[in-house]
Amino acid sequence: MESKSTYQILAYYFYTRIPDAEEFTQHHLKYCIELGIVGRIYLAHEGINGTISGTKQQCAVYMDDLKSDPRFEGVNFKIDEVENPAFNRIHVRYKKELVYSGLKYIDPNKRTGKHLRGDQVQEMMNMEDVILLDVRSNYETRLGRFKNALTLDIENFREFPEKVKELENLKDKKIITYCTGGIKCEKASAYLLENGFNDVYQMHNGIIGYAQDTGGKDFEGVLYVFDGRVSVPINTVNPVLIAKCKKCGDATDRNLNCANVDCNEQFNMCEKCSEVMEGCCSEECTHAPGKREYNGTGFYSKPPVAIAMLNGKLDS
């Protein structure tokens, strides 16, 4: 990607103890509004997780400021260049757990799977006793996943512990877990270790980190992301598409939320069919009272709140 872009996206997470997390959340929100960045930040007693967007200068200030707090000294930012800020407002919220898994008691700072860089993953991924385990949700893996990866049919990460029971026969294998940016794997790999899997690894910084290290070789399809971009192509080496249009069956890189707000189902549909279906998943939804006007992307952000205006450059 050529870096003529004015804006950046920062993705980061860090497990660290924040005893005053509720209070810190309020301060951090105020700080972010003053700085003018947009995005989503979650804080918990166990750490921080954020995806934010702003100008390069705003992002540089944010990174410096966060790292200057000893609790966040070790945080590691994944930086992406973008044409436009990927969010239209800022959320800073306190949560009981960074990624809800029901595994609140697990502290990845005590024990977690070994982190592997992209080149190390590549060295191992095709070996016979190695399993690449995708711990993301089904709508994510439908759009993109590693060749030969084991995927789980879960809608939410909280179903992960239950699914592990079905993996009993893999206890003697080397397991490499992966997710989008790495955060889920901190706990997923720790949970596997705790449940008798002996040789557990995790993709350092997730698929995003792997792609930055290797060009994304052997990642099939596109990467689902939780912002206005919906998905991003990350394999520049041997890209293919794996998702199929729900209507015509053609390969597509598109994921939509149904335009019927009462349905809101996620599905894959090519551009042409989406126009015909007005962004709906089914004929039925096109007649539903809750049908929104199809916006051409199938990503509907909530009504913008008048905070965190980014240099007046926000789309309406």
Question: Any idea which residues carry the catalytic annotation?
Answer: 179
Of 34, 38, 43, the closest CA to residue 69 belongs to 43
Give the interface segment with Zn ion, choosing from 53-61, 228-236, 241-249, 292-300 (CB under 5 A): 241-249
49 touches 12 (CB < 8 A): yes
Q: Is 248 in the site for Zn ion (CB under 5 A)?
A: yes
User: What is the smallest separation between the CB atom of 303 and Zn ion, expressed in angstroms?
Assistant: 21
Q: Is 154 in the site for Zn ion (CB under 5 A)?
A: no
Between 95 and 292, CB nearer to Zn ion: 292
User: What is the smallest separation between the CB atom of 59 and Zn ion, expressed in angstroms?
Assistant: 37
Q: How many residues line the site for Zn ion (CB under 5 A)?
A: 11
User: What is the smallest separation between the CB atom of 155 and Zn ion, expressed in angstroms?
Assistant: 16
Between 142 and 184, CB nearer to Zn ion: 142
Positive or negative CA dihedral for 113, 118, 123, 126?
A: positive
82 touches 53 (CB < 8 A): yes
Site for Zn ion in 259-288 (CB under 5 A): 260, 263, 265, 270, 273, 281, 285
Residue 270 Cα distances to 152, 219, 258, 296, angstroms: 25, 20, 13, 11
User: What is the smallest separation between the CB atom of 281 and Zn ion, expressed in angstroms?
Assistant: 3
Between 37 and 280, CB nearer to Zn ion: 280
Q: Given the rule CB under 5 A, which residues bind Zn ion?
A: 245, 247-248, 258, 260, 263, 265, 270, 273, 281, 285
